[in-house]
Each structure stands twice: as C-alpha cells, then as structure tokens.
A and B are shown apart, each in its own frame.
Chain A
C-alpha cells in the first residue's frame, strides 16, 4: 500500500508490539497476493488488532482481529505496519 507519507513517523512493524497491546493497521508491504490475502482475512487498513501472544524462537504472532484469532508467521507480521493504541 502506497501513501506512506504522514504515516511513516508514527508507525512500527507489528512485530515490535508486546502481548496485550492494541494497534491500528496502517499499511502492509508485500506482493499483490499477500496484500490481498491479508485484507480478505480482515487485516485492512484502519482495523484494530490485539496482540494475543508471540511464539518463542522467532515463531508466529497470534492476534485478534474482527473477533477471530489469527496466527501470522513472523516474516509476514514484520511487513504489517501499525500505529499503537495508547491505554
């Protein structure tokens, strides 16, 4: 997703968040297929997500999105950029 200006300052990769933190998806980087698949699973820009847990050994991240629990591989999660929600 283009239009990075204005966002770039405040966003961080999903992988930098800790368990229990909430964030809003801003954009994702990747091929056409990946981006489309993520948005069809409900990971569209503007969506709030909750970090449920992260697996050790550089394992996947489990998030809650739209009432569903999803596991995302660490590689994919590092390409999703989010804006942390305070409090």
Chain B
C-alpha cells in the first residue's frame, strides 16, 4: 500500500515528517541537518513545551518537518509524552523518523515497539553508530531492518553522515516503493486474550474514539491504567462499562502474575527489545579504557568530582574575567580615539540640539554596548556551549543532587541554575524538566536570581575591573548563599517533599568545534539583535531627558532611596531603574551620565560594590519577568519581582553600612 495521501496537495507542503526518539539521541541535530535555517521554534498550543518546525526541499518535494519532544515511552507520564502520542495518533503524519541511539539500542527500541503499536509508517535513523563502536557494539543494520520490518539507516548526525540516505528512504516509503511490515508485538497468551476482549468491547461501544486511536492500542493503554486514556474513554456514555471490564481484567492478570499489569507489559516489551538486539547486534568488550571513561571516572568521583566541579566554575570565571578585561582595554583605546571625532561629525551635520543629543545617544549606546558588553559575553557563551555539548552538566547534577534536596529540588535543577549564568530566560524555561508544579516554580524562582551574562557584565566591568578579582568573586559567593537561603525558605513555604531524581547520564562526547562556534554565534547574535535596540533606546531616552532637564526632577524624587539608604550618588538612580530593561544597561547608562568609562573617577569602591550588588539581586530584566509570567502566571511573576526588589534594596543598604563601618575601622 502507498502512504501517499493527496490531502496535503492543496496546502503549502507536500507531506509531513516527524522526528521521534529518546532524549540525548541526536534528534535535534538531525532536525537541524534536515531543515537548515528554515526553522520556527514555538510552543505547542496551550502547553509550555517547545515545538520546532521546519521545511526541507528535496527531489521536488516540499516537506514539513516537526521535531517532537524527547521521550522514553508513550505513556501519560509527562506532558511531553501525551503531546507526542496525540500528535502521532491524531494528526497522522505521513512518515515518522524514529531516531535511535545505537549505543543504547535496547532501551531505545522500547519506544520503537510502542510506535509500532500506533500503526504509523516508520523509518529508523540508527544514530551515533560511532559512539556505539567505541563501546564495542557492532550492529548489523540490515538484519535489524529485516527483524523490525522497516528501513534502518545508520547515521552520524554531527557529521551529517547518512542523512541523505535517510531522506532517500523516507521518500521511497512515501512514494510506496518500499513496503513496511512492522514487527507485530505479541504478548503472552493471557495478556493477548485480555487485549482481545477489551478491543472488541471498545470497537462496539466507542467507535468514535477508534477513529483517532487504534482500538488495540486503546486496549493496551487501558490495561496499563493510563489515566489520560481512561479519562477519554470515560467521556463516552458507554465508557464506564469498558473501564469496569478493564479493571476486572487487570485484577485477574495481576493475581495470576503477581505483578502490576503496567510492569508486566513493560517486561514483555523489553523482553522483545532484548531479542531484537540479540539478533542484530554483537558486543565485544573493549579492553582499553577510553579517554571518555577516564574523564567520567574523574568527574563523577566522590572527592575529585567536587574538586573538578569547583575548578570548572573557577576557571570559567577566571577565563571570562581575564579575556573580558583584556578585550575591554583594547576596545576602549580604539573607541577613545574614535568618539570625539564622531561627536564632532554629529554636531557638524545637524544643528538641532535634540537631534544631536539623540545621535550622540546612538553613538555612545553602540560603543558602550560593544566595549562593555561583548568582551564578557563572547567568551562566556563559548565556554557554556562546550559544557552543554560535552555532557558534563548531568554529572554536575549527579554530584549536587543531595545539596539540591536541601532546597526542595533535585539534581536536575542544578542544570537550570547553571544555565542561568548564561541567560535567565532559557534557564527559567528549562525548569520544565522538573517533574512537579511546585518544583518547577521553586526552580524558576531561584534561577532568576542567578547572575546572568548581562549582570556579570556589571559585576566584572565595574567591581572586577576596579576593585579586583576577589571582590567580584565575593559577589558571586554572596549570590550562591542568597540562592541557598531563599531556596530553604521557599522549600519551607511551598509545602511538600522534593521528588526523587531519575536521570539518564549520557556518555561524554567530544563537542565539534563547528557546532560550538555556531552555538556561540547564535547566542551572541540573539543578544545583539535583542539587546542593542534596547541599549540604544535607553541611551537616547537618557540623552533626551538630560537635554530637556528632566533628569534632576526624577533624581530628587529618588533621593531618599538612592542617596540616603544606598549611599550612592544621585545620578545612579536612573540607570538603576532603567536597568530593568536590560541589566547591563545600568552600567552603560551610568557611563553615559558620568560622561566617562573610568568609573573610579566618580564612584568610591564602596559605591561600586553596592551598585553592582543591587543590580545583581533586584528583579531581572523585562524579558525574564515576561518569561516568569508566561511560565507561572501573573501573580507569581509579580510576587517574585517584589521579593527581589525588596531584597536588593535591603541588602544594598545593609552592605553600604557594613562596608562604611569597616572602612572606618581600618
């Protein structure tokens, strides 16, 4: 039979492919290889789960490609699994590319077998075959294809090897040139009898539901006590009858086998997956211990692992600090020569004082953005991309799990917190990996306190540059302590226990330089596109206010807070407030107002320290507030903002007093 359906002919594309597979199998890399730059990243309607779509033009076809969330199974355990199975069952994509990790074939086949039960056309991409052979696993993919009854294409997604063959096979299946005979999964006799009984009852009583989902699949899900399907069945008038039959069948199966039926079915599927592996793969232990294994030994070690973890943190900090300062100096010199001539040029061209001040605002905004911001951002994003791609972060999560339990979270939250050092927005969204609503919010709440790259710009560019390395480091230490204390508090306030950790630890991978550079560039590009317009508008706003003599009246209004409580010069007030647009804007506007990049001429060391501390703690930028709002609702976003503004002002004033007192003592 041909899977070609004319239904999409009139729409903008010829057919649809979806990518399905476990997490960490290289699914997104294959997606990137197939779609190139034609990607739209959004959310699934009504759900906070990422949806990635793109198009591929190949052999005269325009193919829509959709990347499903990484899942281990098609049960209703997580929202990702429900999205994936509903999309496959209801939207009925033309072809599914099931991406398997060749180095963990058995576990990956568990999902494949479940996909087969949904009766959908499947082509298998057997990815990471290089990794598998490193582990001593050799897979006869022709045999695998024969056993499974669907095409199997070996791929190494990172290098692009096998991608063309993969899409060729997909087209052949779509055109009906390859017939699929997917492996039939037969459970043991009693289970099959139960499935049969339920299936018949479903077909007779709720035929409407079988239009969406195969009846046999529904029967299996009911035996697995799948709550989502139970609810769907219940919504039909005859649903209760079916559910009572299911629970009766379940009881008798459980009595006979002494195990819960979901476990029984999982055992059978794994048993079959194991047989498929035995038939198609050979394992020869590799005597030589690879570099990756040695690295794994070291980084997961009881004592050395923690030393390595602190070294990673420390050296990231030192490298960003060192390279950043070096670049700032070079750029400052360069623009130092350039700025006066640009200003002269501006006053030469235009005579209107307002237009001139706007032009000056644009110049100084761009220059300050380039000199203050980019030098720290670039090296940081580079290092972060390496850590992300190498597979180190799950090891850090493993080591930090027990610490995270103290603040009501588990190890995975450590990954979110760490990503927060790059940008709070993706880190906050990343908290979706947490299992419960309570943990998601607690994780998100703490993540936005992590000093992101923009806040690091202020810390390193002000305190680091003028007061030295240890002063800057102390701010990061204070931040970690604050996160821990707020976490303890949050854990107490939001009742409930921390959920246990179940996390896969993927093998180490050597990150490809190309991907790392691309990632670094993408993050920096996002930053430039997003930040520069705001930086420039901010500086223009400031210039206009200055020209119209509005600054003074605003400043007087804020005097009690800025001067009397925080001990800062009055003109830091407006940069602090406008810093809510983007945190590094606070420093850029400060340089604008002061008319110099040499902050030590106008600020005392205590003022620099207090200023940076307040910027570090008070509610992050507008985009983070918007993210909190979208992820957790308006009330929680507002609450989070109020807490962090009050906290920043409180400890800012406190620090000013303590430091002033100490400096009197010395």
Contacts and interface: CB of A to CB of B under 8 A. Distances in A.
Given A42-B270, A68-B107, A36 B501 contact: no
Nearest to B71: A40
Interface stretch (B333-341, B394-402, B584-592): B394-402
A42 B77 contact: no
Nearest to B270: A44
Given A40-B266, A42-B106, A70 B502 contact: yes
Nearest to B505: A69
B504 A46 contact: no
Majority secondary structure of chain B interface residues (helix, strand, loop or mixed) = mixed
Given A44-B263, A44-B266, A76-B500, A71 B107 contact: no
A73 B500 CA distance: 5
Contact of A2 (B106, B254, B300, B397): B254
Contacts of A44: 263, 266-267, 270
Which bracket fits the contact residues of A? 35 or more
A79 B501 CA distance: 13
Contact of A41 (B105, B135, B501, B502): B502
A60 B412 CA distance: 12
Contact of A33 (B77, B266, B300): B77
Contacts of A74: 402, 500
A17 B475 CA distance: 42
A38 B502 contact: yes
Interface string B298-312: 001111000000000
A72 to B, nearest CB: 6
B501 A62 contact: no
Contacts of B73: 40
Interface in A31-87: 32-42, 44-47, 52-60, 62, 65-76
A39 B262 contact: yes
A44 B270 CA distance: 8
User: Which of B137, B302, B507 is most buried by chain A, counting CB atoms within 10 A of its CB?
Assistant: B302
B267 A45 contact: yes
Given A44-B267, A69-B504, A71-B501, A35 B260 contact: yes
Given A62-B300, A70-B504, A71-B501, A35 B398 contact: no
A71 B503 contact: yes
B502 A71 contact: yes
A35 B501 contact: no
Interface in B105-150: 105-107, 110, 135, 137
Q: Which 9 A-B pairs have the closest CB atoms?
A: A3-B258, A73-B500, A73-B501, A39-B266, A76-B500, A59-B402, A57-B402, A40-B73, A69-B505
Given A55-B402, A66-B104, A66-B106, 4 more contacts: A39-B263, A69-B504, A73-B405, A73-B502
